[in-house]
Amino acid sequence: MIEGKVHDVRFHRYDGPRSGRAAALWSMTRWSALRALGARRGWKAKIIPIALTLTAFFPALVVLGLRALFPSSINDNLESVLPYSDYAGIVGLVILVFAVVVTPELLCPDRRDGTLALYFATAISRTDYVLGKVLAALLPLLLVTVVPLAILYAGNVLFATHPLGYVQEHTHDIVRILAAGTAMALYFAFVGLAIASLTGRRAFAIGGYLAFLIVPTIVGGILSNNIEHGDNFRLIAFAAVPIHVAESLYPVTPDVRDPSNTAWVMSWLALIAVSALVLVWRFRGDES
């Protein structure tokens, strides 16, 4: 029989720096966002977010590349090829898939692996946890909703005949780009996290997210096209809601069959509010 002995058992008080609750929240947010993008994971977990991000940048880079290659005499025509108001519609599907890939990774592993209790045993409260995960979803989503348009805007300024004059004439577009991108990111973040909070299985969360966005969109399109005065059925096209909200921020002529911009904004607000309530419900009290 082998005997074991334990020598010199002692506990030490931690005397290092204490960064506080805000630093703990930011640390969780930052690492959650990076992990959702594939950091410290295998190459298979990285390739899809990277490919989708590059795809979201592709239209802007193509137009700017053409403006760099062709003479300045046709630069103005190239600028009108990709207006800022159309960008959300062009890459909307890419943003949707990006959200479907990223948001489940923020919540499902914590529930599946039983690490929620470890979070709540630290300085992170349940409210902090939900807030941190929302911010962790927003950061990657802003990468594909705001940054491509910001690069397109910067390129248009660079290639403009009078850059300062372009900025003066298009100052409002800066605000629109930020507001439209943030509106889309908020929508996909809240809805995606709400669905992911219902299960610990990432595959179920992805399937549920896709079904929630795509099935009502198909049904709404069928009903609006086949029912007289049924245009308001378009509002249940949940995948299209953030795109219409983003486009409503630009001075464009809407489709006469579409509901009003106010109706789209109200639908956007309602879905975000319901998603927030689902998150509060899932992480209330002793729920883990």
* pLDDT tens column, 37-82: 887 777 777 899 999 999 999 999 998 888 888 766 666 666 677 8
How many angstroms separate the CA atoms of 100 and 210, rounded? 7
Q: Please give the pLDDT value at position 286.
A: 47
* Per-residue model confidence (pLDDT) at position 288: 47
C-alpha–C-alpha distance, residues 88 and 247, integer Å: 7
User: Of 270, 36, 281, whose CA–CA distance to 135 is shortest?
Assistant: 36
Mean pLDDT lowest among 21-35, 165-179, 222-236, 264-278: 222-236
Query: Are the C-beta atoms of residues 146 and 136 closer than 8 Å to each other?
Result: no
Say if residue 230's pLDDT is above 90.
Answer: no
Label each residue of 168-210 as H, E or C. HHCHHHHHHHHHHHHHHHHHHHHHHHHHHCCCCCHHHHHHHHH
Residue 259 has what DSSP assignment? Answer: P
Cα dihedral 55, 56, 58, 59 in deg (nearest 10): 130
Residue 224: pLDDT above 50? yes
Separation in Å, CA 270 to CA 103, 114, 175, 241? 20, 31, 23, 11
Distances (CA, A) of 254 to 63, 214, 244, 259: 25, 22, 9, 9
pLDDT for the residue 219: 86
Lowest mean pLDDT segment, chosen from 17-21, 64-68, 124-128, 247-251:
17-21
pLDDT on residue 10: 65
163-193 pLDDT per residue, tens:
898 899 889 999 999 999 999 999 999 999 9
User: Six-digit token pair at 114?
Assistant: 């039983």
Quote the DSSP letter at residue 249: T
Residue-level pLDDT at 9: 61
Task: Give the per-residue pLDDT at 234.
Answer: 80
**255 or 45, greater pLDDT:** 45
Surface-to-core class of residue 61, CB atoms within 10 Å of its CB (0-12 exposed, 13-18 middle, 19+ buried): middle
At 148, which amino acid appears? P
- Classify residue 217 by its DSSP letter: H
- Give the confidence band of 112 by pLDDT, cuts at 50, 70, 90: confident
Quote the mean pLDDT of the chain: 84
How far apart CA 237 and CA 254 sit, in angstroms, is: 16
**What's the token pair of residue 250?**
């630009």
